[in-house]
Structure 1
Amino acid sequence: MRIMKTTMRAVIADDYGPPERLTVGELPIPRPDRGQIQVRVRATALNPGELRLLGGELREMAPLSFPHVIGGDFAGTVTEVGAGVTRFRVGDEVFGLGLPRHLRGLAAQVASPPSLTTGTLAEYAVFEADTPGLTIRPPGLSVEHAAALPTVGLTALPLIRALEHRRGDVVLVIGATGGVGGVLVPMLAAAGVHVIATASAGDGEYVRGLGARETVDHRAGDTADDVARRYPKGVDAVVNLALPGDDLADLARLIRPAGRLLNIVFPVHDPLSFTGSDLIVETLFTAAVPGDLDVLAEQALDGMLPNPIGRRYLLAEGARACVDLLRQHTRGKLVVVCDDEA
């Protein structure tokens, strides 16, 4: 599949700053080196962490280079393979995730070998071929659904494993209306866990549709007090998908002895806040284990994981999608369609 043109459309950052400074412009189409593949991106899903990197919060630990193309989750078609690549062929339908190439150290914590990309909010992107962060998209799984699964699904699976839950356990999920919640809550519900989900009054029906048995309106009062009234003997675990680390200590009082408090939010909590407590407190991050993307695809095809897409945008609207993600209340995943075939 030969590419005749030499430039592509992409959502571009020229420097650190807020998402309002992003633009849709033209850049050279990236070409694969040895061990890499080029993909015609058909859809990509946005994640808040990518935009926080752009805001400069982690500039010293994870510096960016510019121009920078946003995006890591994707689904698309392999259009070129570099030397030495045997895992994929031109024409393969693939999906997965990647981190910016200059964040190789951080990417190594997500997948081994690291999953790297030139940026997926673009018509074309290049990825490392030999990584568990990429896999074949099975027939029947739509492009958009596949693009929405990688980061949230590969965050939910480590949480599921760390919970070591049993059928009938009561688990409070903080921030259930976001992308990770859209995968985690159905997984827990399918395992027979009694999920209490925080959600505003307008989102209650949505999270119950995901499988939550109860909801707590975090805008109407104190979440910890509300749950404590319902469960005076405590819950088995709390999973935090939204609150900053400093707010977790109050939630710890809800958990039964030897229960678990799991967190995915950065910056993380102060360990001294839980000194002496009979709890397992752990922060987990996205991790691509071989085979996990295939598990997520199978669960989506089986109907266990509903389509998590909250809003769709065209690539020409990609900069606005980034602004909406950070500035508006969103439900589920925001997906950008990068061509007319998706």
Structure 2
Amino acid sequence: MLPSQSYVNMSFFQPPAFLMTGIPGLEALHGWISIPFSCMYTAALTGNCLILLAVRRTPSLHQPMYYFLSMLALTDVGLTLSTLPTTLAVLWFDHSLIAFNACLVQMFFLHSFSVVESSVLLAMSFDRFVAISKPLRYAAILTNTVITRIGLTIVARATVSLFPVPFLLKRLNFCPGKILLSHSFCFHADVMKKACADITINILYGLYVVLSTVGVDSLLIVLSYTLILHTVMGLASPRERIRALNTCISHILAVLVFYIPVIGVSMIHRFGRHLPHIVHALIAYVYLMVPPVLNPIIYSVKSKPIRDAMFRVLRGEGPRLIKSRNNLKV
């Protein structure tokens, strides 16, 4: 009995660490490649932190629309910080090792923030629908209590959906010779392929998470904008129609910036196995790095209140000064 138990324990293998890859085939240029990556990380953190400070310090921005924008900015900060340490460690110092458990933790937060971002974009589409279809009841429907509950529900949904994933990977037997990951961070699809075991459950659960979160969210966003267009077409004045649709442009751009790379990553992982590794790596980096960089730019360009508030933060003006100026404008 004891020898058989010993054999079972000896046959089960989990690597103490994985080896991460930067840009496949361009390892000699990692020092130069780290420059644009560092600039993108800096831009993402700076832009989203500026939005958070601008909303917090500007009383006139204490409205549902800007609260949801703050949720989006906070999510982008979390998504950026999830990949920043390992990516820059690989590019700057050629430090490619990541402990097995640390890999699972990074993977959990990376995918959780992605689910949260999808949910926040859905909440923002609902916000636009209420603002356009029921403008007189907008503040009464989206109260601070309702917004807080929406935020907590979004976090709970992502946590519950992704919580089983690390444990499903923990049960797998891995191959001793397959510890090289395809990216400088831990993707679920990438990690599970390194196992020497049946990963059917992992594949099915991963598909379930994608369809029940990002898939459902995308359909509901399309439904929201269908209802928005129906409401806008009912407005008498063409000028009112344009003004109503103009309030949605920033959100539409943010949705496209997020969902187009998501679709690209999903298609690549399922149907692009024959493509070079560098294509997989670049699509993954676009998916994780471009939305946090572009979202602050989109909202600062399209939203004058956000742009003005961000400039005030950069000039170091305090909340009292901002409040007094807003009162003067009123």
Q: TM-score, normalised by structure 1?
A: 0.23
**Which gives a bigger RCO, structure 1 or 2 (Cα 8 Å, sep 6+)?**
2
Between Structure 1 and Structure 2, the one with more helix by share is: 2
